[in-house]
Structure 1
Amino acid sequence: MSESPVNKSRRRFLTLSTAVVGGVGVAAVSIPFIKSWQPTSRVVSLGKPIEVDLSHLESGQMMTVEWRGKPIWIVRRPEDVVSRLKEHDHLLIDPDSEVAQQPRYAQNFYRSLKPEYFVAIGVCTHLGCSPKYLPESLNNHIPGVKEGFFCPCHGSCFDMAGRVFSGGPAPLNLVVPDYQFITDSKIVIGDDKGEV
């Protein structure tokens, strides 16, 4: 039996061809894999700031918009409601908003840029339920307090500045998102310049 000589050029060609085909295969598999790490356009749009027109919001009314998959409440508070906010400070867990649940510019007793408008994430700080706006009947739950928010899941109550009343399971005030007024009747939620 005779051995034929090794064709080195053919061996190099086959080695190189196999390496090229393997490299193309790895690239073909890795490109979709790496692209799967990128956020989708839907996810990117969820994180963007949103503009909200408040011109049709009447005094005492609340509107809800969605931002980052969460309900954002915007309440136009009448003057008498704002003036009553300090009357029940003794019933609140954190009346001075010392726990950071709001931007610095909203760390005041009305927890907003303008006293007339209250903007908050409408999710209870206990277990994430969505409280209900009670413009006339919170006194059924907190005697002497006419209006506010009530979480029917476990009974937490919040005043018209989103501050939590003691006696319920919610440990913190409602979260105030970053926002700014771009006109007297338009706000941008999710963009924070801290200006009025």
Structure 2
Amino acid sequence: MSNAPVDNSRRRFLTIATSVVGGVGAVGAAVPFIASWNPSERAKSAGAPVEVDISKLEPGQLIRVEWRGKPVWVVNRTPKMLETLKTLDGQLRDPQSAEEQQPGFAQNPHRSIRPEIFLAVGICTHLGCSPSFLKGNFGEKVEGVEDGFFCPCHGSKFDLAGRVFQSVPAPLNLEIPPYMFIDDTTIIVGIEEGAA
């Protein structure tokens, strides 16, 4: 055994340096492992809420957004369109929306949170086609429907509250997605107010 003096400062430096390198390595290994617990980007986009800016949505206009791989329509209904909704009950299959395909907030004559802003999943309840938006002020009219939605595949018709007319193949009103307003011009589709 040698009687050379022990260099404690060198020993401390090597211990600290080894600890730091080991700590960095542990963090480097932990980050990808912990990140793997998060849902994939594909899973996030499949069910993620969608933010919609309606600040430039003119009265009578429709915009489309995608939520969970489905088209969602956002329509700014005019006062005339809202008045017409009141006159159609006798022509509709389910005018009171008794079937369970809308959130509780949409169980009203206009099937929406705010009467003028209407949201619906733009898929026909018959065979999954996407109906066309009809606006009477452009002269479009299909079988007596001036304003509403018409599915050209099999002739199903819906009013501007997404309620299905009688004597058409579609069995149900259009689906109303969960949504909420976060301010006057921004809607979040996919989250219902008060839902956890």
TM-score normalised by the chain length of structure 2: 0.76
Give distance in 2, aligned partners of 1:101 and 1:79: 25
Give matches, 1:97-176, under 5 Å. Answer: 97-136=97-136, 139-141=141-143, 143=144, 145-176=145-176
The runs of at least 4 consecutive aligned structure 1 residues that moved more than 6 Å come to: none
One-letter code aligned to 1:140:
V
- Asked whether the 8 Å contact 1:180–1:192 carries over to 2, the reply is yes
Deviation per CA, 1:102-161, whole angstroms, max 9, x where unpaired? 1011011100000010000000000000000011256431x2x42100000000000000
Q: 1:83, CA displacement in angstroms? A: 1.4
Q: How many pairs does the alignment contain?
A: 157
Amino acid at match of 1:172: L
Cα distance in 2 for partners of 1:88, 1:138 equals 18
The answer on whether the counterparts of 2:142 and 2:150 sit within 8 Å (CA) in structure 1 is: no
Other-structure match for 2:47: 47
SS at match of 1:140: coil
Shift of 1:40: 3.2
Give, in whole Å, the separation in 2 of the partners of 1:95 and 1:39.
40
Report the counterpart of residue 57 of structure 1 in structure 2. Answer: 57
Native 8 Å contact 2:134 2:141 kept in 1? no
**AA in 2 matched with 1:121:** V
Amino acid at match of 1:154: H
In 2, distance between residues paired with 1:163 and 1:91? 10
Measured in 2, the distance between the counterparts of 1:97 and 1:140 equals 23
Contiguous gaps of at least 5 residues in structure 2: 1-35
In structure 1, what is the Cα distance between the partners aligned to 2:142 and 2:62?
A: 20
Deviation at 1:80, TM superposition (A): 1.2
Change (3 A) 1:193 1:40: same
TM-score (norm 1): 0.76
Task: Give, in angstroms, the shift of residue 100 of structure 1.
Answer: 1.1
Unpaired runs of 5+ residues, structure 1, are 1-34
1:146 aligned partner, one-letter code? E
Q: CA RMSD in A?
A: 1.8
Q: Work out the CA distance in 2 between the residues paired with 1:73 and 1:87.
A: 23
Write the mapping of 1:9-48 to structure 2, written as runs, cut at 5 A. 40-48=40-48
Say which SS state the counterpart of residue 64 (structure 1) adopts: strand
Contact kept in structure 2, 1:138 and 1:146, CA below 8 Å: yes
**Counterpart position of 1:188:** 188
Q: Which amino acid aligns with 2:142?
A: N
Identity %: 53
Matches within 5 A, 1:77-96: 77-96=77-96
CA distance in structure 2 between the aligned counterparts of 1:139 and 1:46, rounded to whole angstroms: 35
CA contact (8 A) 1:179 1:194 kept: no
Distance 1:140 1:128 in 2: 20
